A and B are shown apart, each in its own frame.
Chain A
Amino acid sequence: MNSPGKLFTTSLLVLLILSIFVLAGSAKSGNQSDPDAQALQNFRNRIDQYMDIHHRADAKVPHIKPTQSAQKIIDRRHAFAAEIIKERGAVKEGNIFTPEIDAYFDRLIHSAYQANTRGINATLECLNSINQEELKPNALYPRAPSTHRCLRLSCCMFLICLWSWSTALLTRI
């Protein structure tokens, strides 16, 4: 049986060792967060620059008065996009998502995925429905086929019908 004095000393030692681990861990994470903060700041700066281009392009393309004509709005959209393309010149993929920023978001998404697997999967499902070949720098965001869900549902319904039909046929035999 341990004496109370010995128990106290042991507890103190355990606490001391634990504290060392916690402090070491926080120091390590502190070191890690600096490049993260830098990457995030870099990303924000690049987004701000991108938005500046948007604002400049927006100022260059004549604004239209409120109109019922959807075609006029679509035409303005295309003119606006053309102006952005002109402003950004020969920008290449990775202009905003540099390798450092890319790595930062990879880590962020990985940790988010652990916390919200369903949510991230739903987002990925949305992205998968977009034709990846159309995703190019400075191109208009491609249109997701809204029918893919319906198509999948129809296939499921068809399979269910097929199954029911074959079951019914089997019962006749």
Chain B
Amino acid sequence: MRRLILSTLVIALVGVWAVHFAHSRTSAVAAVRHADDGGLTLPLKANSVRFVAIGDNGTADSSEYQVGEQMQKVQQISKFSFVIMLGDNLYGGSSAGDYASRFERPYKALLDEGVLFYAALGNHDDQNEISYAGFHMEGHRYYTHIEGNVEFFVLDSNYMDGAQLDWLQQELQKSVAPWKIAYFHHPLYSSGKTHGSSRDLRTVLEPILDKYGVNVVFSGHDHVYERVYPQNGILYFVMGSSGKLRNGDLRNDSLKAAGFDTDRSFLVGEITGDDFYFQVISRTGQTVDSGVFKRQALSAAGEESDAIPGSN
């Protein structure tokens, strides 16, 4: 009798745990598809700009390597040519070996293929990383790079001083690129329970982004993936889970258009004409979000028209 009761108890406990685990794994996953064998939703058009976004990745944990493997699988199909890094590129990067274990080895296959990495600094990064050739920062805390019809504005949100804000205004003013994408570590909008939106930064930065017609903004810091409903026509992404993860850290609020907080992920994007296609892929190769965002048009006064939000 005692044997029967104990066995039932063990089975019941395991059952409850399994159901709970399965639920938590699938609740945040929308439209699961495997991306590693032609499951890409991107149109892969000729002459389009294709890239990947990763954030908070430099942990040297096995998860970072697994995300790197998925990125390589996607690269074989999509042939993206560069990766934008949203900060916290090297956690505890205090020895030369850290550069190898947190960057060179996890992304070796991509580096061997000639994929370029463009980094922004996070709060866990050392300022001297700007001299690391692998990050293509050319000795600058903030810089721009142009890829086809897209200009990327890379900022250092650790210290947003007047000089950086002036520089950003000047660069945006003189930019003729149809697409303007900004990226930096601290998110202006985030539903992350741990950090959430960086409101002070938003106060100084958002008016500039709005005024000069930035189309898309990428950030990290909160260790989740989130697509925020467009704010003043700008599409905001939080991609802070390419290495670190805070399981279940997303709150359900009015900001969140889509999110994934139960595993690591990265975003692959393609820009062609006025469309930005995006697909978010998990460590295990599942598509957890995808959609298309139409570039907002600038009116004569520099005001943006309504954007069409991306959808699953």
Contact = CB atoms under 8 A, between A and B. Distances in A.
Binding site of A, secondary structure by majority: helix, strand, loop or mixed? Answer: helix
Contact of A70 (B3, B92, B99, B137): B99
A152 interface: no
A66 to B, nearest CB: 4
Nearest to B195: A119
Contacts of B98: 70
B299 to A, nearest CB: 38
A119 B96 CA distance: 32
Interface stretch (A15-23, A89-97, A100-108, A164-172): A164-172
A68 B159 CA distance: 26
Nearest to A119: B194
Contact of B96 (A64, A71, A122): A71
Nearest to A145: B92
A65 B140 CA distance: 11
A66 B119 CA distance: 13
Nearest to A143: B92
A159 interface: no
Interface size class of A (residues with CB under 8 A): 20 to 34
A49 interface: no
A122 B194 contact: yes
A111 to B, nearest CB: 15
Nearest to B59: A146
A70 B10 contact: no
B139 A63 contact: yes
Given A51-B159, A66-B139, A171-B6, A76 B96 contact: no
B194 A70 contact: no
B291 to A, nearest CB: 29
A118 interface: yes
A86 interface: no
Contact of A74 (B59, B95, B136, B196): B95
A73 B128 contact: yes
A144 B3 CA distance: 46
B204 to A, nearest CB: 14
Contacts of B47: none
A64 B130 CA distance: 10
Given A167-B10, A170-B6, A66 B131 contact: yes
B100 interface: yes
B198 to A, nearest CB: 13
Interface in A15-36: none
Most chain A CB atoms below 10 A, which of B91, B94, B100 = B94
Interface string A132-173: 000000001001101000000000000000001001001100
Contacts of A118: 193-194
A67 interface: yes
A116 interface: yes
A88 interface: no
B128 A77 contact: yes
Contacts of A122: 194, 246
B263 interface: no
A101 B132 CA distance: 37
B131 A63 contact: yes
Nearest to B95: A74
A144 B128 contact: no
B113 interface: no
A146 B60 contact: yes
A73 B132 contact: yes
A171 B131 contact: no
What are the 5 closest A-B residue pairs judged by CB atoms, nearest first?
A70-B99, A70-B96, A143-B92, A71-B96, A66-B133
22 contacts: A65-B139, A66-B131, A66-B133, A66-B137, A68-B133, A70-B98, A70-B132, A74-B96, A76-B131, A77-B94, A80-B127, A116-B193, A119-B195, A122-B194, A123-B194, A140-B94, A143-B92, A144-B92, A146-B60, A146-B61, A146-B92, A171-B7
Interface of A: 51, 63-74, 76-77, 80, 116, 118-119, 122-123, 140, 143-144, 146, 164, 167, 170-171
Given A51-B161, A73-B99, A76-B131, 20 more contacts: A51-B159, A65-B139, A66-B139, A70-B96, A70-B97, A70-B132, A73-B128, A74-B95, A77-B94, A116-B193, A118-B194, A122-B194, A122-B246, A123-B194, A140-B94, A143-B94, A144-B91, A144-B92, A146-B91, A171-B3
